[in-house]
A and B are shown apart, each in its own frame.
Chain A
């Protein structure tokens, strides 16, 4: 199948404006005849549901949490980018576009990214109007900061809780539409499958997580706003419930899954402290501005550290390896996320890790405290130090912090065209669930921007284009396709409950996570990926014969919920490995050991891999089929980055 990205013709800056004029409109009186299904209520889902309801559509919004306000967008800390140029420091829509394309290592679409930069300014206006309390200057105007190494200050923020404030803004807009009767909420409801009729998405089948009831919901379009799949690694900064199930089931119903191997690994997270660990906590990247990263020079010293025979302060400077400063003299500790992450992995793989598990490096503030005084350091990082102490029980003013990289964001996702529609007509994907705007690597403070851009300012236009040419016809949930789908879901529930094996769901999830982390994590190579593929296949087989899911399907059943999600992660994990294996280059969040410059930097192959890999499900047990969407760069010149 030929993938048509539907990027409008014309100059970059006019594409979106022209497109908005060219799309078909739905008559206001007719909007109320359409039912739109929105799955997920994070930034993308809540903003889409609210905006569509405001236009007059009937919306049904689903989330697995007990309230739409709890979606994991809420945990984003840093901020949201917008090309407002309030700081008069040379920012512009084009610069934000350019930074995003470059940051994505030239693996995203120019048209999409330019639109993202264009609507970014509207997002801030919208959020302020909703009562989002962004940080302000004394003069009463909005404050900005520079974030993630950007050369301009374009990041708007609400202390370290920007995601929370933005989500509560979208949630309040959504709540208003619930009160107006335009949105019906379905909390504690998990999407189990997409229903397609004549090739078009016409509804979903859900499981009520409290009663276990399998139910059908029909609609004229289905919007998946279900976030990323970082939890395939078991340990990530994602919420415990974050999962790929909705996207994956859609994939199995025909939607292509793009670039699944692009994962962003964040270098400054609190390390794993033991096997019991359930999730990883991110700490702001800003810590690297003053902290120095090091490990002991020799393995025996590291071993003594791990056994707690010596304390970090006992190690003399000449026995410390400030490896980032040595290797990258000009950028030092401020190298980009992926470089910092990869190097931490290398030193730990050598056996120089500094905590009990051997997977941690020091982030030391000793010199900053000596230079600027403890109060100055507290002023800058006080809340982060407190958070660190709360979690680890160690005082970072006295002893160096320990950090380790963790999975943070997934750039891959369902393939969508310029209208955010997947290749299945009527099925859309918004926010982190799609692949569209970040290429192979996402810039800091851009995730919130994309989620809200899709929901507030893109889908309200592009959805109408599809609906206008697809007259609404209320499809009854008694349609045989719904019944068939319900039966399949019920059968799957039954299957999971009757295996009655010996191992818990978490056992499999942890095992999968280890495989993914070791072979499809910060650095990948053909041998490891080939091995991982076999291991996952094996694990999948074991899962379906030996998993133990307790309880019944007709009640709140956490292990059953998890079993569904892990079953899908197992399948996704395999595809990620396949994708990583096929992409014989290094780019952004995908680093292949075989493809690096003599200095050990990521080496892109623009000749052969400047395309979007869109994987097509070919049937159970069959290899997925690769479809390619060539990326066309008309405005930017592809360059290689260097941090030496």
Chain B
């Protein structure tokens, strides 16, 4: 198939950037979206033009490295990661607009590559159970109801890609933050620290400059792993309960 691509090109963080048009022909519908971009980049390289920079790694939908806002939706028209989006989702003659994630907390590095280290800093602020290696009880010491373990797992499947932030009209990171808070608040191992964790992670999220939640549900609808909005509600509960109950001023 033949395609027209409108791709955001930006040399570096301080460059103003803008869209550039490219035409591609002979694209197979079996290609993944990123393979289509590989073809574009091979073309550009052969012509001596700088290839389009984009993040990607595992190409099997689990590492969370790939991003891209494709035709007005994060990871494109299907609810999956960009690496798992295939060209059969498009038609011959389509124009595809490709933009980077847009959020002040995800500054652009180059072209479509953004800096998501704000997510790492949020996890560093409390997204863990404070246990050292060794000296832990036997794994079967604490039974966990299957239903709770499964719910925690659902929250834990977050791949940290940032599609929730990209999709949200407020560039809010609530779905990401709440997924981690939920996972650990549900499990007995994480419950011990749940109050402080909620406070610290929310504070870090705010410091990073992410927006607030309007409960539009766009994050969950676009999340490649289908993380549920109930996580955000749980985070709210945990946070308010923490505010009321912790003894720090």
Contact = CB atoms under 8 A, between A and B. Distances in A.
Contacts of B126: 179
B218 interface: no
Interface stretch (B68-76, B141-149, B205-213, B241-249): B141-149
A133 interface: yes
Contacts of A329: none
Q: Which 9 A-B pairs have the closest CB atoms?
A: A140-B143, A172-B128, A129-B136, A133-B153, A51-B133, A128-B139, A239-B58, A70-B63, A273-B30
A163 B58 CA distance: 13
B36 to A, nearest CB: 8
Interface string B34-60: 111011011001101111010111111
Interface string B116-156: 11011001111111111110111110111110011011001
- Considering residues B51, B65, B190, which has the most beta carbons from chain A within 10 angstroms of its beta carbon? B65
Given A164-B159, A550-B48, A125 B57 contact: no
Interface in A562-596: none
Contact of A179 (B64, B125, B134): B125
B51 A278 contact: no
Given A51-B133, A128-B189, A133-B153, 5 more contacts: A69-B120, A133-B156, A161-B62, A176-B130, A273-B30
B57 A133 contact: no
Band of interface residues on B: 35 or more
Nearest to B11: A555
B58 A75 contact: yes
A453 to B, nearest CB: 12
Contact of B63 (A47, A74, A141, A274): A74
A86 interface: yes
B50 A506 contact: no
Nearest to B12: A555
Nearest to B204: A179
A192 to B, nearest CB: 19
A216 interface: no
Nearest to A176: B128
Contact of A550 (B36, B51, B65, B140): B51
A556 B53 contact: yes
Interface string A67-89: 11111101100000000101000
A366 B91 CA distance: 32
A279 B50 contact: no
B166 to A, nearest CB: 15
Interface in B131-188: 131-134, 136-140, 142-146, 149-150, 152-153, 156-157, 159-160, 183-184, 187
A277 interface: yes
A17 interface: no
B80 interface: yes
A137 B139 CA distance: 13
A148 interface: no
Interface stretch (A258-266, A310-318, A390-398): A390-398
B53 A548 contact: no
Nearest to B180: A172
Given A128-B189, A135-B149, A278 B35 contact: yes
B30 A158 contact: no
Contacts of B11: 555
Contacts of A70: 57-58, 63-65, 160
25 contacts: A51-B133, A66-B116, A68-B120, A70-B63, A72-B57, A74-B62, A75-B58, A86-B140, A130-B189, A132-B156, A136-B144, A136-B150, A161-B157, A175-B128, A187-B117, A210-B109, A239-B63, A276-B36, A281-B59, A391-B86, A392-B30, A504-B42, A550-B45, A556-B53, A556-B113
B42 A175 contact: no
Given A125-B137, A179-B124, A136 B146 contact: yes
A311 B137 CA distance: 57
